[in-house]
Amino acid sequence: MSSNLITTFKRPESMSDNTTHYCPGCTHGIIHRMVAESLDELGVSGRSVGVAPVGCSVLIYNYFNVDFIEAPHGRAPALATGFKRVRPDMIVFTYQGDGDLASIGMGEIVHAANRGEKFTTIFVNNAIYGMTGGQMAPTTMPNQKTTTSPGGRDTDKVGFPIRMSEMLSTLKTPSYIARVAVHTPLHAIAAKKAIKRAFQLQVENRCFSMVEVLSTCPTNWGITPEASTKWVESDMVPYYPLGLYSDPDREET
């Protein structure tokens, strides 16, 4: 390439040089990158603290040049609450899977959102428990096969998938809540915008912010990375509509 070329896309500063342990094609990596870019662009990575979940992304701290706490399974919002309350000058975020946030951590996320804790949650919904080998999550799609729903999720017995963004946006406390996806570049660009806005609102000390990101788990879905992106579009998006669910700037209803 000639010398007047400039770099338009590169690894964000906030990311470390380590390669990840994620499976090939797992979109956790894309979401990591967007978080790092947001911290970079807002210039806050030096005063940020992430809270890692238990789930495939438990080792997220290995991939960031940012301080991190490792939370017990599901409790990241409680840790983030504790940290942010004593250090309101810092930028705090949790990064949580769907098992972590929507199953065991339900109480903690609802209450953190309801108290209006001023941290940011990146909620990676891949409709399954990735780390433990593909068990059913509260977000698993109807009829989706998992190791604990070998005949497919039976909604008569275990109910329908929980839509966290919809649920949390019923709370009256102001918040920013959006659902995005990363299965195509266009979706990914929108996702990045939402994530950045979530952090931006925290920088402005406005409100609790959460971005739910539809993500893939090729390994436990048992299909290729490409097929996984297709499945997000064909099966997940219709049930989990993308969009803005709550915004502090929006007129209250």
Partner 1 sequence: MPGVKIDINYCKGCELCVQVCPTHILEMSKEINLKGYFYARLNEPTHCIGCQLCAIMCPDVAIKVQSHGTRFVLFE
Partner 2 sequence: MSGQIDVVFAGFGGQGIMTAGQLLAYTAMEEGKQVCWIPSYGPEMRGGTANCTIVVSDTRIGSPIINNPAGACVFNRPSLDKFVPSLRAGALLLINSSLIDTPSGRSDLIEVKIPINEIAMKLGNPKAANMVMLAAYVKATGVVKMKSLENMLITKLGHKKSALEINKRAFKEGAKAVSGLQVRDKV
Partner 3 sequence: MTKKLMKGNEAIGEAAIAAGAINYFAYPITPQSEVAEYLCWRLPEVSGVFVQGESEVAVGNMIFGAAASGKRVFTTSSSPGISLMQESISYMAGAHLPVVILNIMRGGPGLGGILPAQSDYFQATKGGGHGDYRLIVLAPASVQEAVDLTILAFDLADKYRNPVMIIGDGMIGQMMESVEFPEKYRDENNPDDFDWALTGADNRPARITKSLYLDPKKLEDNSIKLAEKYKKIVEAESRHELYHVSNDNQLLIISYGTMARICQTVIDELADEGISVGLMRPITLYPFPGAELYAEATKKNIKRVLTVEMSMGQMVEDVERYVVGKKPVDFFGRTGGIVPTPNEVKDKIRELLKPSPKAKKTKSSRKKQIKG
Ligand X SMILES: Cc1ncc(C[n+]2csc(CCOP(=O)(O)OP(=O)(O)O)c2C)c(N)n1
Which positions lie near ligand X, rule CB under 6 A?
53-57, 73, 97-100, 124, 126, 128-132, 137
SS3 79: helix
Find which of a second copy, partner 2, Mg ion, none residue 97 binds, CB within 5 to 8 Å per kind.
Mg ion
Binding mask 133-152 for a second copy (x = CB under 8 A): -----x--------------
Structure token digits, residue 8: 């338009």
d(CA 163, CA 196): 22
Number of residues that bind a second copy (CB under 8 A): 26
d(CA 44, CA 89): 11
Residue 181 binds partner 3 (CB under 8 A): no
| Nearest CB to ligand SF4, comparing residues 84 and 187 | 187
| Nearest CB to ligand SF4, comparing residues 19 and 253 | 19
d(CA 108, CA 125): 17
d(CA 152, CA 142): 7
Q: Which residues bind partner 1 (CB under 8 A)?
A: 1-2, 4-12, 15, 19-20, 22-30, 32-33, 182, 184-186, 188-189, 193, 218, 224-226, 229
Residue 29 binds partner 3 (CB under 8 A): no
Residues 51-110 interacting with ligand SF4 (rule: CB under 6 A): 56
The one segment of 1-9, 15-23, 98-106, 172-180 that binds partner 2 by CB under 8 A = 15-23
Residues 214-252: b if buried by 16+ CB within 10 A, e if exposed: bbbbbbbbebebeebbebbeeebbeebebeebbbbeeee
Residues 35-64 interacting with partner 3 (rule: CB under 8 A): 45-49, 51-52, 54, 58-59, 61, 64
Amino acid at 246: S
Strands 120-125 and 48-52: unpaired
The one segment of 11-19, 23-31, 138-146, 175-183 that binds ligand SF4 by CB under 6 A = 23-31
Quote the least distance from Cβ 19 to partner 1, whole Å: 5
Residue 45 binds ligand SF4 (CB under 6 A): no
DSSP secondary structure string for all residues of 14-46? TB-SPPP-SPTT-THHHHHHHHHHHHHHHT-GG
d(CA 99, CA 153): 15
- What is the dihedral angle through the alpha carbons of 98, 51, 30, 137, rounded to the nearest 10 degrees? -10
**In the set 40, 41, 67, 166, which binds partner 3 (CB under 8 A)?**
67
d(CA 250, CA 246): 7
| Nearest CB to partner 2, comparing residues 124 and 242 | 124
Residue 139 binds partner 3 (CB under 8 A): no
Interacting residues of 43 by C-beta distance below 8 A, sequence separation 6+: none
Q: By the criterion CB under 8 A, which residues form the site for a second copy?
A: 103-107, 110-111, 114-116, 138, 155-163, 166-167, 170-173
